[in-house]
Amino acid sequence: MVTEKLQSVVCIIGAGPAGSSTSIFLSKLGIKHIIIDAASFPRNKVCGDGLDMKSIRMLNQIDPNIFQNEILKDPSFTPCNGVRLIHPSGKNRDYVIDKTKVKAHYHPFYVSKRMDFDHFLVKKIDKTFANLLLETKAKTIEKTTDGWKIIAENKNVEFEITCKLLVGADGDHSILLRHLGERKINRKHYAGSVRQYFKDVEGTHSENLLEFYFPPKYPFSYFWIFPLPNGEVNVGYIMVSKYASENNHNIRKIFTELITTDPILQHRFANATPVGEVEGWGLPLASLERKAYGDGWLLVGDAASVISPTSGEGIGNAMFSGYVAAEFIAKAIRQDSFEENVFINYQRELYRQFQEEIDRYNKYIDKKPAVSNWLINTLIMDNFIIQKLYKRSMQKWMETAYEKRIKVTLD
Ligand SMILES: Cc1cc2nc3c(=O)[nH]c(=O)nc-3n(C[C@H](O)[C@H](O)[C@H](O)COP(=O)(O)OP(=O)(O)OC[C@H]3O[C@@H](n4cnc5c(N)ncnc54)[C@H](O)[C@@H]3O)c2cc1C
Asked, for residue 21, whether it belongs to a domain, the answer is yes
Task: Measure 302 CA to ligand 1 centroid, in angstroms.
Answer: 7
Task: Measure 18 CA to ligand 1 centroid, in angstroms.
Answer: 8
* pLDDT tens digits for range 343-360: 999 999 999 989 999 999
Asked, for residue 218, whether it belongs to a domain, the answer is no
DSSP 26-86: HHHTT--EEEE-SS-SS----S--EE-HHHHHHHHHH-TTHHHHTGGG-TT-EEE-EEEEE
| CATH number of the domain that residue 312 is part of | 3.50.50.60
* pLDDT tens digits for range 274-311: 999 999 999 999 999 999 999 999 999 999 999 999 99
**Quick one: DSSP state of residue 285?**
B
Q: Is the CB of 285 under 6 A from ligand 1?
A: no
Task: Measure 51 CA to ligand 1 centroid, in angstroms.
Answer: 13
Q: Is the CB of 211 under 6 A from ligand 1?
A: no
**Over pLDDT 70: what percentage of the chain?**
100
* pLDDT tens digits for range 254-274: 999 999 999 999 999 999 999
Cα-Cα-Cα-Cα dihedral of 120, 283, 80, 66, to 10°? Answer: -30
Asked, for residue 120, whether it belongs to a domain, the answer is yes
Asked, for residue 347, whether it belongs to a domain, the answer is yes
Residue 88's pLDDT is 87
Tell me how far apart the alpha carbons of residues 85 and 224 are, in angstroms, rounded to a whole number: 10
Residue 371's pLDDT is 84
Atom 21, ligand 1: residue with shortest CA distance: 315
Q: Is the CB of 18 under 6 A from ligand 1?
A: yes
Q: Give the SS3 label for residue 91.
A: coil
Residue among 110, 170, 235 whose CB has most ligand 1 atoms within 8 A, to mutate: 170
Q: How far is CA 347 from CA 19, 259, 264, 410, in A?
A: 17, 41, 43, 11
Residue 392's pLDDT is 86
Q: Give the SS3 label for residue 173.
A: coil
Atom 3, ligand 1: residue with shortest CA distance: 47
* pLDDT tens digits for range 28-55: 999 999 999 999 999 999 999 999 999 9
Residue 323's pLDDT is 98
Asked, for residue 278, whether it belongs to a domain, the answer is no
Q: Of 115-119, 261-265, 393-397, 399-403, which range is least confident?
A: 393-397
Asked, for residue 29, whether it belongs to a domain, the answer is yes
* pLDDT tens digits for range 188-243: 999 999 999 999 999 999 999 999 999 999 999 999 999 998 899 999 999 999 99
Structural domain tally of the chain? 1
Q: Whole domain around residue 318: which residue ranges?
A: 2-54+114-185+286-359
Q: Give the SS3 label for residue 105.
A: coil
With beta carbons less than 8 A apart as the criterion, state whether 7 and 159 touch.
no
Q: Is the CB of 58 under 6 A from ligand 1?
A: no
The pTM (predicted TM-score) of the whole model is 0.97
What number does the ligand 1 atom closest to the CA of 50 have? Answer: 8
Asked, for residue 165, whether it belongs to a domain, the answer is yes
Residue 210's pLDDT is 98
Q: Is the CB of 262 under 6 A from ligand 1?
A: no
Mean pLDDT along residues 7-11: 98
Asked, for residue 400, whether it belongs to a domain, the answer is no
* pLDDT tens digits for range 356-388: 999 999 988 988 888 887 888 887 778 888 888
Mean pLDDT along residues 161-185: 96
Q: Is the CB of 153 under 6 A from ligand 1?
A: no
Q: Of 17-26, 247-256, 386-395, which range is least confident?
A: 386-395
Determine the distance from the C-alpha atom of residue 67 to the mean position of all C-alpha atoms in its chain, rounded to a whole number.
Answer: 19
Residue 202's pLDDT is 97
Q: Is the CB of 38 under 6 A from ligand 1?
A: yes
Residue 372's pLDDT is 81
